[in-house]
Amino acid sequence: MTSTSSAFEYAPAPESRSIVSIAPSYGLFVDGEFVDGTGEAFKTVNPATEEVLSEVASGSEADVDRAVAAARRAFTRVWGPMRPADRGKYLFRIARLLQERAREFAVLESLDNGKPIRESRDVDVPLAAAHFFYYAGWADKLEHVGLGTGPRPLGVAGQVIPWNFPLLMLAWKVAPALAAGNTVVLKPAETTPLSALLFAEICQQADLPAGVVNIVTGAGDTGRAVVEHGDVDKVAFTGSTAVGKSIARAVAGTQKLLTLELGGKAANIVFDDAPIDQAVEGIVQGIFFNQGHVCCAGSRLLVQESIHDEVVASLQRRIGTLRVGDPLDKNTDIGAINSAEQLARIRELSDIGEAEGAQRWQPACDLPAKGYWFPPTVFTDVSPAHRIARDEVFGPVLSVLTFRTPDEAVAKANNTTYGLSAGIWSEKGSRILKIANELRAGVVWANTFNKFDPTSPFGGYKQSGYGREGGRHGLAAYLKGADQ
Amino acid sequence: MIGNDRLAVRKTYKLYVNGAFPRSESGRTYEVTDSKGHFLANVAWASRKDARDAVVAARGAFAKWSGATAYNRGQVLYRVAEVMEGRHLQFCEEVAAAEGLSSSKARAAVDAAIDRWVWYAGWTDKLAAVLGGANPVAGPYFDFSTPEPSGVVAVLAPQQSSLLGLVSVLAPVLTTGNTAVVVTSRQRPIPAVTLAEVLATSDVPGGVVNLLTGDAEELGPWLAEHADVDGIDLTGAPAGRAMEFEREAAGTIKRVVRPPATEPDWSAEPGLSRMTPFLETKTVWHPMGV
């Protein structure tokens, strides 16, 4: 490890966790109430301390069946026939309740996920509320979505979400589904079920009719039961490309509609005319936001050859000031890796990076003794064939490659089976627009990175999936048009 | 042709790949008859290798076709209609023979097929406005979304409607800027070969459309699993095989259009539902500041 000048000392500034009360155990949320699961309960831990936070029910096939039946009843009897404006009002209520209890959600999210409170407080939770507020307004305007007159909901949506943005991914899935008139059965990730269960309480406080939202916790088997259930009309999944493929296979030959938001290996392209200081901030934001547990993370830095040394030096200097540690500390930049399993994967791929000949650089930083931690890492001398340039690491690991011409930058950026996102850094507008045009990626951030908004469609090209979340495009995933 | 004792010059029916008309590399042909069972032609029977060559051609043509201006693509598609119009009689005879239609019904199908190109030609420069736009994000950013083509699309054309059905599945793929590898109706391929001749003389760049006469049952699995095919329309998949093709397509996360339970009435106005499955949405963000 190379040492850089460490940041000056801060006194600890932890957010109080007293705002959250976590029950020793949780059941499933089915038909408006918490019920015992019939599968074997599992523990969810705080990845920063390895402390067990709670025991959570695991949904069996029978549990999923009950949840789907409840969702079907609610769709047929209550939510489907309801005046669209009233559906919207329920969603507005949910948005407001999320705002009212925002700090509680933020602390809970950081405890269960390991992400810095600065991010859960300033990004995850406000964006989740914003998604509900945005889609609430659509509920009585669906004929303006652009699918022709009289668009119809699909019915029961089965939704499976990942652990990197537990509440936000819930909002991305649930808000448009409900606004379009569907009911949902949602399976949160195994390692981060708690914010979804707190969301169930929000549904109760909102007096949302029973069965409109059902939350079935569990692992892969539970997710499979949701996806493969015969009375589910729509499947929405965010997660790995491997699981996405198996889901696409599972729904083949059925009438289920499918949207997939899968992995990525985004190129973040820095041209020699870029504002270097801004670009370095953007690179850091692109790869170290949420410990790099971001499908759209800017994990492949493509730097024009002439400025490579300058950018890397500046980047290392900046990374040396990042604070890794207690997720609840307001000054923390990088929190805990979400699970022991994910940490093992990050370590494995990093070791392969070194074994294949890339140079690993990590700042000197003290990592807590307990919990799952990985320091921010930069690989230089990376070739496009290296696994750290091709595989999604899903951790705080940046691979640096170079290019000479804009054409080479585009060719290298597009040389991946993924196509979720990309970044461009340049002060030249015409260059930005041309490169943005040529990149085969669903989201292109120019002179910024990792920005999200409910009005802005998000989703991938190629093996990063299909369908969009956000904007009116996000509604199309939950509606049948007149001509369909 | 009637009342004339001149011996007709018959045509050799070949594939249409990369702007040329090759025979199948396999050397295979199969016999095509009219609806009453009378011999019409021995058409080329495309092989797996032909399908792979067609994908290479379609990939090669993608950058130019998707990069053409929407106005230009619209004019090219309109020109397809113009050139078809000149072959109206030929299409009517071929459709009538292939589908066993009365001459008035065949004419209606050909009219509708030509008009469908005109309808889609008018869409090329409207889609971005209808399907994209500026997104009012909560921050100092200019953020806009545009539709872009998925890439290379494999099309298993309808088995019944030899021309109108074919145009109805092919035109939307081209309108949106994709390039196509089409497996024609197995029993009724002749109007498709004539359409290939129209495409070859309509300013459609070579490789943008590749038409393979042959068997969707044989070629479907290869196209469904091909790693350089981005989407597949299973409309003409043989009964009972579509699920298997869709499973194969899952291995590369292809965009899939499932087959309808029965072949639809192609005369109805299509709407957007055949264009959106092979369109991606790209969202671009840029900060606003001074």
CATH number at residue A126: 3.40.605.10
Determine the angle formed by the axes of helices A429-438 and A406-414, rounding to 10 degrees.
Answer: 30
Degrees (nearest 5) of the Cα angle A180, A182, A188? 110
For residue A138, pLDDT over 50 is answered with: yes
Same structural domain, A292 and A223: no
Distance separating alpha carbons of residues A456 and A464, to the nearest angstrom: 17
Identify whether B15 is part of a domain.
no
CATH of the domain at A293: 3.40.309.10
B283 min Cα distance to partner chain A (Å): 5
Residue A261 and residue A460 in contact, taking contact as beta carbons nearer than 8 Å: yes
For residue A3, pLDDT over 70 is answered with: no
Q: What mean pLDDT do residues A321-345 have?
A: 97
Average pLDDT, rounded, for chain A: 96
Contacts of A245 in chain B (CB under 8 A): 250-251, 253
pLDDT at B4: 75
Same structural domain, A110 and A228: yes
Compare CB distances from B243 to A130, A253, A441 and report the shortest one's residue. A253
Is A447's CB within 8 Å of B286's CB? yes
Compare CB distances from B285 to A252, A451, A468 and report the shortest one's residue. A451
Q: How do strand B152-156 and strand B231-233 relate by DSSP bridges?
A: parallel
Question: How many Cα neighbours within 13 Å face the side chain of B170?
Answer: 30
Task: List all residues of chain A from 355 to 394 with a beta carbon under 8 Å from chain B.
Answer: none
Same structural domain, A248 and A364: no
Identify whether B130 is part of a domain.
yes
pLDDT at A483: 59
For residue B89, pLDDT over 50 is answered with: yes
Identify whether A94 is part of a domain.
yes
User: Which residues face A465 on adjacent strands?
Assistant: A261
Q: Which amino acid is at A127?
A: L
Q: What is the extent of the structural domain holding B103?
A: 29-287
Identify whether A3 is part of a domain.
no
Going by C-alpha positions, the residue among A414, A268, A396 that lies closest to residue A343 is A396
Compare CB distances from A448 to B138, B255, B285 and report the shortest one's residue. B285
Q: What are A419-452's pLDDT values in tens digits? A: 999 999 999 999 999 999 999 999 999 999 999 9
Q: What are B16-58's pLDDT values in tens digits? A: 999 999 999 999 999 999 999 999 999 999 999 999 999 999 9
Q: What mean pLDDT do residues A209-222 have?
A: 98
Same structural domain, A274 and A258: no
3-state SS track over chain A: CCCCCCCCCCCCCECCCCCCCCCCEECEEECCEEECCCCCCEEEEECCCCEEEEEECCCCHHHHHHHHHHHHHHHHHHHCCCCHHHHHHHHHHHHHHHHHCHHHHHHHHHHHHCCCHHHHHHHHHHHHHHHHHHHHHHCCCHHHCCCCCCCEECCEEEEECCCCCHHHHHHHHHHHHHHCCCEEEEECCCCCCHHHHHHHHHHHHCCCCCCCEEECCCCHHHHHHHHHCCCCCEEEEECCHHHHHHHHHHHCCCCCEEEEECCCCCEEEECCCCCHHHHHHHHHHHHHHHHHCCCCCCCEEEEEHHHHHHHHHHHHHHHCCCCECCCCECCCCECCCCCHHHHHHHHHHHHHHHHCCCEEECCCCCCCCCCCCCCCEEEECCCCCCHHHHCCCCCCEEEEEEECCHHHHHHHHHCCCCCCEEEEECCCHHHHHHHHHHCCCCEEEECCCCCCCCCCCECCCHHHEECCECHHHHHHCCEECCCC
Going by C-alpha positions, the residue among A383, A397, A281 that lies closest to residue A343 is A397
List all residues 6 or more positions away from B268 whose beta carbon is below 8 Å from its beta carbon: none
Distance separating alpha carbons of residues B232 and A466, to the nearest angstrom: 13
Identify whether B17 is part of a domain.
no
Identify whether B10 is part of a domain.
no
Is B283's CB within 8 Å of A444's CB? yes
Per-residue CA distances from A118 to A106, A331, A453 (Å)? 9, 8, 18
Identify whether B279 is part of a domain.
yes
Distance separating alpha carbons of residues A152 and A81, to the nearest angstrom: 11
Contacts of B265 in chain A (CB under 8 A): none
Main-chain phi, psi angles of B266, to 5 degrees: -75, -5
Torsion sign across C-alpha atoms B155, B158, B162, B167: negative
Is B250's CB within 8 Å of A252's CB? yes
User: Which residues face B229 on adjacent strands?
Assistant: none
Among all chains, which residue has been given the structure tokens 């993608």?
A: B62
A328 min Cα distance to partner chain B (Å): 26
Please give the radius of gyration of chain A, using alpha carbons only, rounded to the nearest integer. 22
Contacts of A477 in chain B (CB under 8 A): none
A428 touches chain B (CB under 8 A): no
Q: What is the extent of the structural domain holding A475?
A: 25-262+462-480
The total number of structural domains that make up chain A: 2
pLDDT at B50: 98
B250 min Cα distance to partner chain A (Å): 5
Q: Which two tokens stand for residue A408?
A: 């080479």
Start-to-end CA span in chain B (Å): 74
CATH of the domain at B49: 3.40.605.10
Is A473's CB within 8 Å of B243's CB? no
Identify whether B20 is part of a domain.
no
Same structural domain, A223 and A272: no
Q: What are B93-138's pLDDT values in tens digits? A: 999 999 999 999 999 999 999 999 999 999 999 999 999 999 999 9
pLDDT at A9: 80
A245 touches chain B (CB under 8 A): yes
Residue A116 and residue A335 in contact, taking contact as beta carbons nearer than 8 Å: yes
Residue A288 and residue A275 in contact, taking contact as beta carbons nearer than 8 Å: no
pLDDT at A4: 42
Q: What mean pLDDT do residues A205-213 have?
A: 98
Percent of chain A at pLDDT > 90 equals 96
Main-chain phi, psi angles of A178, to 5 degrees: -70, -40
Same structural domain, A321 and A258: no
For residue A149, pLDDT over 90 is answered with: no
Count of CB atoms situated within 10 Å of the CB of A6: 13
Contacts of A483 in chain B (CB under 8 A): 270-273
**pLDDT band per the 50, 70, 90 thresholds, residue B2:** low
**pLDDT band per the 50, 70, 90 thresholds, residue B64:** very high
Same structural domain, A472 and A376: no
Identify whether A5 is part of a domain.
no
Same structural domain, A383 and A470: no
Q: What mean pLDDT do residues A85-93 have?
A: 98
Per-residue CA distances from A342 to A7, A108, A348, B108 (Å)? 28, 20, 10, 62
Same structural domain, A273 and A185: no
Identify whether A456 is part of a domain.
no
For residue B266, pLDDT over 50 is answered with: yes
Distance separating alpha carbons of residues B127 and B148, to the nearest angstrom: 10
Task: List all residues of chain B from 244 to 263 with a beta carbon under 8 Å from chain A.
Answer: 244, 246-247, 249-253, 255
For residue A482, pLDDT over 80 is answered with: no
Q: Which two tokens stand for residue A398?
A: 């940046």
A462 touches chain B (CB under 8 A): yes
Is B143's CB within 8 Å of A260's CB? no
Identify whether A457 is part of a domain.
no
Q: Active-site residues of A: which are they?
A: 261
Distance separating alpha carbons of residues A141 and B205, to the nearest angstrom: 42
Same structural domain, A438 and A296: yes
Q: What are A250-300's pLDDT values in tens digits? A: 999 999 999 999 999 999 999 999 999 999 999 999 999 999 999 999 999
pLDDT at A6: 54
Task: List all residues of chain B from 65 to 104 with a beta carbon under 8 Å from chain A.
Answer: none
A458 touches chain B (CB under 8 A): yes
Is B281's CB within 8 Å of A463's CB? no
Identify whether A143 is part of a domain.
yes
Distance separating alpha carbons of residues A235 and A248, to the nearest angstrom: 9
Identify whether B156 is part of a domain.
yes
For residue A146, pLDDT over 90 is answered with: no
Is A483's CB within 8 Å of B272's CB? yes
List all residues 6 or more positions away from A61 whose beta carbon is below 8 Å from its beta carbon: A225
Q: Which two tokens stand for residue A458?
A: 């998000």
Spatial strand order in the sheet of A25-26 = A25-26, A51-56, A42-46
Same structural domain, A156 and A194: yes
For residue B161, pLDDT over 60 is answered with: yes
Residue B91 and residue B101 in contact, taking contact as beta carbons nearer than 8 Å: no
Identify whether B4 is part of a domain.
no
For residue B216, pLDDT over 70 is answered with: yes
Residue A442 and residue A467 in contact, taking contact as beta carbons nearer than 8 Å: no
Interface test with B, best of A456, A463, A472, A484 (most B CBs within 10 A): A456
Percent of chain B at pLDDT > 90 equals 97
The total number of structural domains that make up chain B: 1
Distance separating alpha carbons of residues A450 and A282, to the nearest angstrom: 9
Among all chains, which residue has been given the structure tokens 């490789």?
A: B207
Distance separating alpha carbons of residues A5 and A8, to the nearest angstrom: 9
B141 touches chain A (CB under 8 A): yes
Percent of chain B at pLDDT > 70 equals 99
Please give the radius of gyration of chain B, using alpha carbons only, rounded to the nearest integer. 20
Same structural domain, A63 and A135: yes
Is B250's CB within 8 Å of A253's CB? no
3-class DSSP assignment, residue B92 = helix
